[in-house]
Amino acid sequence: MDTPVKKIVLVDMDGVLANFELACQQCWRRLYPDLPFIELEERTTHDIKQQYATLGENYGNKMRDIIHSNGFYATLEVMNGAKEGLDRLKQSGYEVFICTAQARNTKCAPEKAEWVNRHLGSEWVERMIITRDKTMVRGDILIDDKPVITGLYSPCFTHIIYDQPYNRLVDSGRPRLTWSCSDAVVANVLKC
Ligand SMILES: [Mg+2]
């Protein structure tokens, strides 16, 4: 079986390339200006619906409806330094793919592709892998804000956690990554 010459780096979208948290909070505050909301630095669960559900009855469902609403994805901003970081990984000689989950909303995949085209460029649209189960994807590294990656298989990649307030209680034993230190962290992990 052929082995790719280049190392493969998979990069998650929500919470890594696209500012999912900020869009959720902004949308919540616009729709429900009189209800409490959670400051970004006080978020404690990867699944935002879970923490909002603790604030009041149906709050989790309200947040779910925001996330699944048509056009929500178009409101997401690019994370600071994400486009530059993605381009630098490619220029460093890695095979870089965007690896992102499909939601139950049927508009999810086309909205994500549209977002990538608009914010990152068309070359990245054809480098998108959209799957509910990332363990079915092969690669050397996955950069993802989700604290633990589970699925049908044991992951064949090394998971590097993208640092976010809601995943700081998890210690993977590896350095955490933000776009300001991505080159060094990826190079270090691939060396081990
Ligand atoms: Mg994510």
Nearest-angstrom CA–CA distance, 69 and 75: 11
pLDDT at 31: 98
Q: Is the pLDDT of residue 88 over 70?
A: yes
pLDDT at 1: 63
CA–centroid distance, 91 to ligand 1, in Å, is 23
- How large a percentage of the chain has pLDDT more than 90? 90
| Identified catalytic residue from 2, 12, 65, 163 | 12
Q: Is the pLDDT of residue 67 over 90?
A: yes
Q: Is the pLDDT of residue 3 over 90?
A: no
User: Do 12 and 128 form a contact (C-beta atoms < 8 A)?
Assistant: no
Average pLDDT over residues 173-177: 93
User: For the residues of 143-159, what is the DSSP string, one character each?
Assistant: EESSSS--SSS--SSEE
How does pLDDT run across 96-148, given as a tens digit for each residue? 999 999 888 888 999 999 999 999 999 999 999 999 999 999 999 999 999 99
pLDDT at 79: 98
| Identified catalytic residue from 2, 14, 87, 171 | 14
CA–centroid distance, 15 to ligand 1, in Å, is 5
pLDDT at 46: 97
3-state secondary structure of 183: helix
Known catalytic residue at 12: yes
CA–centroid distance, 2 to ligand 1, in Å, is 30
Known catalytic residue at 65: no
The conformational region for residue 121 under phi > 0 = left, psi -120 to 50 = alpha, else beta, is left
Between residues 106 and 18, the one the model is more confident about: 18
Phi, psi for residue 107 in degrees, rounded to 5 = -85, -5
CA–centroid distance, 59 to ligand 1, in Å, is 21
Beta bridge partners of 96: 9
Residues with Cβ < 8 Å from 138, sequence gap 6 or more? 8, 156, 157
pTM: 0.96
Between residues 42 and 3, the one the model is more confident about: 42
CA–centroid distance, 14 to ligand 1, in Å, is 4
Name the residue among 134, 129, 138, 142 with its Cα closest to residue 189: 142
Sheet with 158-161, strands from edge to edge, namely 128-130, 95-100, 8-11, 141-144, 158-161
Tell me the pLDDT of the chain averaged across its residues.
96
Nearest-angstrom CA–CA distance, 89 and 86: 5
Q: Is the pLDDT of residue 49 over 80?
A: yes
CA–centroid distance, 29 to ligand 1, in Å, is 22
